[in-house]
Amino acid sequence: MRAEIVNLVKLEIVQAGHPVLRQHARPLSVAEIRTREIQKLIESMRAVMHEAPGVGLAAPQLGLPLRLAVIEDREEYHKDVSEALLKERERSPVPFHAIVNPTLETIGEESAEFFEGCLSVSGFSALVLRARAVRVTCLDEHGESKVIEASGWYARILQHEIDHLNGMLYIDRMASRSFTTMVNLAEFWKGKPVNEIKAELE
């Protein structure tokens, strides 16, 4: 394991079609999490996520089949989003943290459908139906046990990143007729209610 981290010269986000994105990532032991290599990897993942920019990044997106992801929904990302949309998405800032070896369970039966993008499916977006609330049991970046209960956009981010650890992409769950370039999303669909968009696409 250490060799695969140490020999990685530059972390780059891999795109759809790369085999690692379709693998089940392997878990990390507490001892591994606490190594200098994994701690350095977590910090590097944070930097790559910020540079992209994105709100989450999983190790497989960097070519590493490890059950590790980082998440951070920064307040600055919300400045160009309307209050109405933030409320509809139930979106608020989420501080930086890592999730390791996560298991996910849904809370309740409510679901929500919104456009999602992915740093490994660059330039595209689609409507994806997700559970509105989830519970995630995992280890944090220090190897400590943690239980996260989340709803709204945070729950969506968690589901998206955990999908990556199980070899899935949002395109496996999307409403296929809604698949669009980011350019066309901004031009034709930005700000429209999801129900109206779906009606136009039928």
Does 161 participate in catalysis according to the annotation? Answer: yes
The confidence score (pLDDT) of residue 3 equals 44
Instruction: Find the catalytic residue in 76, 161, 187, 202.
Output: 161
Question: What does the radius of gyration of the chain's CA atoms come to, in whole angstroms?
Answer: 17
Q: What pTM did the predictor assign?
A: 0.93
Considering only CA atoms, which of 36, 37, 33 is closest in space to residue 6?
37
Judge whether residue 149 has pLDDT over 70: yes
Q: How many CB atoms lie under 10 A from the CB of residue 112?
A: 19
- Where in the sequence is the domain holding 17, given as residue range(s)? 2-201
Contact 45, 59 (CB under 8 A): yes
Per-residue pLDDT tens digits for 33-70: 999 999 999 999 999 999 999 999 999 999 999 999 99
Considering only CA atoms, which of 11, 3, 70 is closest in space to residue 35?
3
Q: How many CB atoms lie under 10 A from the CB of residue 4?
A: 12
The confidence score (pLDDT) of residue 78 equals 87
Per-residue pLDDT tens digits for 159-197: 999 999 999 999 999 999 999 999 999 999 988 889 999
On average, the pLDDT of the chain sits at 93
Contact 53, 77 (CB under 8 A): yes
CATH number for position 122: 3.90.45.10
- How many domains, in total, are found in the chain? 1
Judge whether residue 4 has pLDDT over 70: no
Judge whether residue 117 has pLDDT over 50: yes
pLDDT > 90: percent of the chain: 83
Residue range 97-123: mean pLDDT, rounded? 97
